[in-house]
């Protein structure tokens, strides 16, 4: 079926992690004025939408994902006037701006929660989920960032425990209460009226709780991402009712883009969120691709040998198929919750760092899904791989460390795993130049700068035609100029091949063959995707091509896109 067009389907999204992007006042924390000062860099990429992580008032226990006032800007980030200016400047550059909205939970410092904690009779008590002590032990729920793994925390004044899926400082809002929902819709409208063009809705799949509180198997580390947790946490009975209500009360009145962060959601459930007829949301960011390669039932621990390309192809192909003609996908290879894209999916050694970054970007920018580029990836930043727990700032890593230590677990193994998977790997300051602190700050950076900034930085790549940065710019221009790369049908080739990811993007009379070698060795392509007659190579991260009897010999991490115009093969 032919895709219906929409601006957000054609867009490339650039994610800015504000505290690590650019510090304008020397306090070591990136801020709004810092972002404004670097808008030329962002717009030079050719992206359409800038997504910024939370900049609301927050005690910052989870880097802003614990909001204490939804209508205020956190002083470390700047002022409301700075934010107004950012919105205006982004618009002047012909881009749109979307913000993170964290409405599954608030901070424990939010006025609603402080009131709620004072007494059971306080009207705000019912803004949260409580388990009164006279009912005995609360039913097991996992607190993802809790040092003891517990999802309930006792509060003396109310003689009851409140629910928190993340840390105890992030109490979950009670969406059963219509007043809570109205408050939240009001907040969404407030920001849309300020000129915000849409939202990334944080952990939105968790908002509806089954308040019959069914039994969930208690496990220590296991219910984090796998097993049956998704069933209880991400598929609450009223989830879609709430999302439809939100559409009716908010989205319907604006031309905004709505993106669900969707932990726990599988391909066959995606259309429940994004099928246009259901009037819910525009896109979901799923976790199936990004979590592939981790050992099920372990906390962010990679399989020996890393991810399996066949499995990865299968996941992305399933998602494409599920959404075909019904909804629309999104694609990301890194973000603020993940290690660096190159370290995760490519090769971060000097020899292959740039090549694999370019190969991964070719993938990201030639799939049928809106691509998300995470800041720093466009210059090929890599994991910092801290050796000391003190270097980590992330609540997730710190608390998990404590949890493992307290239970007599293997902390050394944990530290090793974190070098691959910790969120702080993706949060180190942006490497602008070879100046002190990579040009990020004049002060002491809140998180250490990766010492490789002298080699990897934006300034060095700016005028180098063969840099990752300029490769990304080229790919974005290409995606914009070839509709087949946005809307064209995706057809997987060589599904069983363990090293090559190959596919067609096919539109009427136009077709692109994408060939990606995901390994550090040379691979001879099977005949199925041999050199197409009359094809033109439009992407190549090597200076030339190698072939043998009309078959491609792909160099380590080689990426090729070959365009076949007037394509007559039917899709
Ligand atoms: O993440 C939601 C989520 O599901 C996390 O458990 C995520 O899987 C985890 O960070 C991976 O290690 C969102 C935000 O993106 C994250 O930064 C916040 O910490 C979290 O919500 C709580 O608000």
Domain boundaries, the chain: 13-106+178-387+426-474, 111-163, 487-565
CATH number of the domain at 111-163, please? 3.90.400.10
Local confidence band at 149 (pLDDT 50, 70, 90 cut-offs): confident
What pLDDT, on a 0 to 100 scale, did the predictor assign at position 306?
Answer: 87
Please list, residue by residue across 505-529, b when 16 or more beta carbons sit within 10 angstroms of its beta carbon and e when fewer do.
bbbeebbbbbbbbbbbeebebeeeb
Nearest-CA neighbor of 149 among 209, 207, 232, 222?
A: 222
Measured from the CA of 287, which atom of ligand 1 is nearest?
Answer: 8
Between the CA of 337 and the centroid of ligand 1 the distance, in Å, is: 6
DSSP type of residue 371: E
- Which of 146, 202, 288, 320 is flagged as catalytic? 202
- Say if pTM beats, i.e. exceeds, 0.95: yes
pLDDT at 53 over 90: yes
Q: What is the CATH class of 487-565? A: mainly beta
pLDDT at 3 over 90: no
DSSP for 170-186, please give it: SPBB-TTSHHHHHHHHH
Of 263, 337, 395, the residue with max ligand 1 atoms within 8 A of its CB, to mutate for a pocket test, comes to 337
Read off the pLDDT of residues 259-314 as tens digits, 9 standing for 90 and up.
Answer: 999 998 999 999 999 999 999 999 999 999 999 988 877 778 888 788 999 999 99
What pLDDT, on a 0 to 100 scale, did the predictor assign at position 566?
Answer: 73
Local confidence band at 571 (pLDDT 50, 70, 90 cut-offs): very low
Where is average pLDDT lowest: 21-30, 297-306, 373-382, 533-542? Answer: 297-306
Ligand 1 binding pocket, CB closer than 6 Å: 62, 65, 102, 144, 166, 202-203, 261, 263, 336-337, 396, 423
Nearest-CA neighbor of 439 among 376, 361, 350, 374?
A: 376
What pLDDT, on a 0 to 100 scale, did the predictor assign at position 226?
Answer: 41
H-helix or E-strand spanning residue 478: helix 468-481
Across 438-458, average pLDDT: 98
Percent of the chain with pLDDT strictly greater than 70 = 97
23-26 contact pairs (CB < 8 A, 24+): 23/440, 23/441, 23/442, 23/443, 23/445, 26/441, 26/442, 26/443
DSSP for 400-455, please give it: HHHHHHHTT--HHHHHHHHHHH-GGGGTSPP---SSGGGGS-SS--SSPPPGGGGT
Measured from the CA of 263, which atom of ligand 1 is nearest?
Answer: 4
For residue 228, indicate whether it is catalytic: no
Between the CA of 79 and the centroid of ligand 1 the distance, in Å, is: 25
- Which of 261, 280, 348, 417 is flagged as catalytic? 261
**Closest Cα to atom 6, ligand 1: which residue?**
144
What residues are paired with 284 via a beta bridge?
260
Check if CATH label 3.20.20.80 holds for domain 13-106+178-387+426-474: yes
- The whole-angstrom separation of Cα 504 and Cα 494 is 11
For residue 202, indicate whether it is catalytic: yes
Q: Which residues neighbour 151 within 8 Å (Cβ) at sequence distance 6 or greater?
A: 140, 141, 142, 143, 163, 164, 165
Across 195-213, average pLDDT: 96
Nearest-CA neighbor of 504 among 397, 380, 412, 367?
A: 367
CA distances from 426 to 206, 333, 371 (A): 24, 11, 18
Three-state DSSP class for 455?
coil
What pLDDT, on a 0 to 100 scale, did the predictor assign at position 296?
Answer: 74
Between the CA of 108 and the centroid of ligand 1 the distance, in Å, is: 17
Residue 484 near residue 299, CB atoms below 8 Å? no
Query: Fold identical between 13-106+178-387+426-474 and 111-163?
Result: no
**Closest Cα to atom 22, ligand 1: which residue?**
65
Between the CA of 261 and the centroid of ligand 1 the distance, in Å, is: 9
**Closest Cα to atom 16, ligand 1: which residue?**
337
pLDDT, greater one: 233 or 243: 243
Where is average pLDDT lowest: 12-16, 438-442, 488-492, 524-528? Answer: 524-528
Read off the pLDDT of residues 409-435 as tens digits, 9 standing for 90 and up.
Answer: 999 999 999 999 999 999 999 999 999
Between the CA of 32 and the centroid of ligand 1 the distance, in Å, is: 22
Phi, psi of 69 (to 5 degrees): -155, 115
Between the CA of 397 and the centroid of ligand 1 the distance, in Å, is: 12
Measured from the CA of 66, which atom of ligand 1 is nearest?
Answer: 23
What pLDDT, on a 0 to 100 scale, did the predictor assign at position 23?
Answer: 98
**Closest Cα to atom 14, ligand 1: which residue?**
202
Q: Which residues neighbour 182 within 8 Å (Cβ) at sequence distance 6 or greater?
A: none
- The whole-angstrom separation of Cα 262 and Cα 223 is 16
Read off the pLDDT of residues 525-566 as tens digits, 9 standing for 90 and up.
Answer: 998 888 887 899 999 999 999 998 889 999 999 999 999 987
């Amino acid at each position: 079926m032919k895709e219906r067009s929409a601006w957000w389907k054609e867009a490339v999204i650039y994610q800015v992690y504000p505290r690590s992007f650019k510090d304008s006042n020397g306090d070591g924390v990136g801020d709004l004025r810092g972002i404004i000062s670097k808008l030329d860099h962002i717009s030079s990429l050719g992206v359409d939408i800038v997504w910024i992580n939370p900049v609301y008032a927050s005690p910052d226990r989870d880097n802003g994902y614990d909001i204490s006032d939804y209508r205020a800007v956190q002083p470390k980030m700047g002022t409301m006037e700075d934010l107004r200016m950012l919105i205006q400047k982004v618009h002047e550059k012909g881009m749109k701006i979307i913000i993170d909205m964290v409405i599954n939970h608030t901070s424990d410092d939010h006025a609603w929660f402080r009131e709620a904690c004072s007494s059971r009779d306080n009207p705000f008590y019912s803004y949260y989920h409580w388990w009164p002590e006279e009912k005995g032990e609360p039913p097991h729920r996992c607190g993802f960032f809790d040092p003891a793994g517990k999802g309930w925390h006792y509060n003396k004044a109310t003689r009851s425990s409140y629910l928190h899926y993340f840390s105890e400082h992030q109490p979950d809002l009670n969406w059963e209460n219509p007043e809570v929902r109205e408050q939240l819709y009001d907040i969404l409208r407030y920001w849309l009226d300020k000129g915000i063009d849409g939202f990334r809705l944080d952990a939105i799949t968790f908002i509806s709780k089954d308040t019959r509180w069914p039994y969930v198997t208690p496990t220590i580390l296991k219910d984090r991402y796998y097993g049956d947790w998704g069933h209880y946490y991400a598929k609450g009975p009223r989830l879609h009712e709430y999302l439809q209500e939100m559409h009716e009360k908010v989205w319907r009145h604006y031309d905004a883009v709505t993106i669900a962060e969707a932990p726990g959601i599988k391909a066959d459930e995606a259309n429940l969120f994004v099928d246009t007829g259901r009037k819910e949301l525009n896109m979901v960011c799923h976790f199936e691709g990004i979590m592939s390669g981790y050992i099920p039932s372990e906390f962010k621990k990679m399989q020996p040998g890393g991810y399996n390309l066949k499995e990865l192809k299968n996941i992305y192909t399933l998602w494409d198929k599920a959404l075909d003609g019904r909804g629309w996908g999104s694609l990301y290879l890194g973000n603020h919750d993940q290690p660096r894209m190159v370290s995760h999916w490519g090769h971060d050694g000097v020899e292959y760092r740039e090549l694999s970054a370019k190969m991964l970007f070719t993938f990201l920018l030639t799939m049928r899904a809106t691509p998300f580029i995470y800041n720093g990836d466009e210059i090929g930043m890599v994991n910092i791989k801290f050796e000391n727990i003190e270097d980590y700032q992330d609540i997730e890593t710190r608390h998990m460390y404590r949890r493992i230590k307290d239970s007599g677990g293997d902390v050394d193994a944990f530290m090793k795993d974190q070098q691959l998977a910790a969120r702080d790997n993706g949060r180190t300051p942006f490497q602008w130049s070879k100046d002190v602190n990579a040009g990020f700050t004049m002060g002491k950076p809140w998180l250490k700068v990766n010492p490789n900034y002298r080699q990897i930085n934006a300034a060095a790549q700016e005028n180098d035609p063969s840099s990752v940065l300029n490769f990304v710019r080229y790919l974005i221009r290409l995606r914009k100029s070839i509709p087949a790369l946005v809307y064209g049908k995706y057809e997987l080739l060589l599904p069983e091949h363990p090293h090559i990811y190959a596919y067609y993007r096919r539109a009427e009379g136009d077709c692109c063959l994408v060939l990606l070698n995901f390994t550090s060795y040379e691979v001879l392509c099977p005949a199925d995707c041999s050199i197409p007659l009359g094809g033109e190579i439009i992407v190549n991260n090597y200076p030339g091509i190698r072939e043998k009897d009309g078959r491609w010999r792909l160099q380590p991490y080689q990426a090729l896109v070959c365009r076949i115009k007037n394509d007559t093969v039917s899709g």
